[in-house]
Chains A and B, each alone.
Chain A
Amino acid sequence: GAGVSQSPSNKVTEKGKDVELRCDPISGHTALYWYRQRLGQGLEFLIYFQGNSAPDKSGLPSDRFSAERTGESVSTLTIQRTQQEDSAVYLCASSPGGLYSPLHFGNGTRLTVT
């Protein structure tokens, strides 16, 4: 079956605009993660969804960032009033949800804020 799908693959936006990034996880995967990767840096944890439990938002860098997930399907990451420091690749990963299950990553969305 298809892997994790992210859209758009590239997004250029002006400072101050809102953006929405989408992630379609692998069917049946109950866990979903968002990460941010700035140029030359590692993956920075943002948010984690597990089934119908309340999401772990402990990695969100500011209240401009929010994410939603509908059941065990699509997730959207929203960044309001974008800033230049938000420029990065945003990676989504899903997993079957068992303890330490391997993460399956999407190709990412490259966000550029001008």
Chain B
Amino acid sequence: AQRVTQPEKLLSVFKGAPVELKCNYSYSGSPELFWYVQYSRQRLQLLLRHISRESIKGFTADLNKGETSFHLKKPFAQEEDSAMYYCALSGRLLFNKFYFGSGTKLNVKP
């Protein structure tokens, strides 16, 4: 069965430090991976998706099929990056359904 694992509930870093939020998945088909973000008092929204190979707000994520991972990275964290981050999985075998991890709270300290 499909599964998304985010091992860290909370990640605290200082401003300017690199940050990596971990995401591992389990899926028998070819995966499509996404990162969603929820800032304080805002709705959950898409941050980036593997299929677009984009960098949003300085964040990037690389799909590693060998390690079944899709870690989110940013070289220099900013205070405004503090938020809840959710990794999500879809794929053809999932018929356009999306499965989410339990989320990681990122706290960027000044």
Contact = CB atoms under 8 A, between A and B. Distances in A.
Interface stretch (A7-15, A42-50, A60-68, A69-77): A42-50
B100 interface: yes
Interface residues of A, number: 24
Contacts of A93: 44
Interface residues of B, number: 23
B45 interface: yes
A104 B98 CA distance: 12
A42 B103 contact: yes
B100 A102 contact: no
Interface string A34-61: 0100001111010010100000100100
A42 B101 contact: yes
A48 B97 contact: yes
A25 interface: no
Contacts of A41: 102
B49 A100 contact: yes
A99 B44 contact: no
A90 interface: no
B85 to A, nearest CB: 11
Interface string A75-114: 0000000000000000101000001101111110000000
B20 interface: no
Given A41-B102, A42-B101, A56 B43 contact: no
B99 interface: yes
A29 B49 CA distance: 20
B49 A42 contact: no
B81 interface: no
B100 A99 contact: no
A48 B94 CA distance: 11
16 contacts: A33-B98, A42-B100, A42-B101, A45-B98, A45-B99, A48-B97, A56-B97, A91-B44, A93-B44, A100-B32, A100-B49, A100-B51, A100-B96, A102-B34, A103-B46, A107-B43
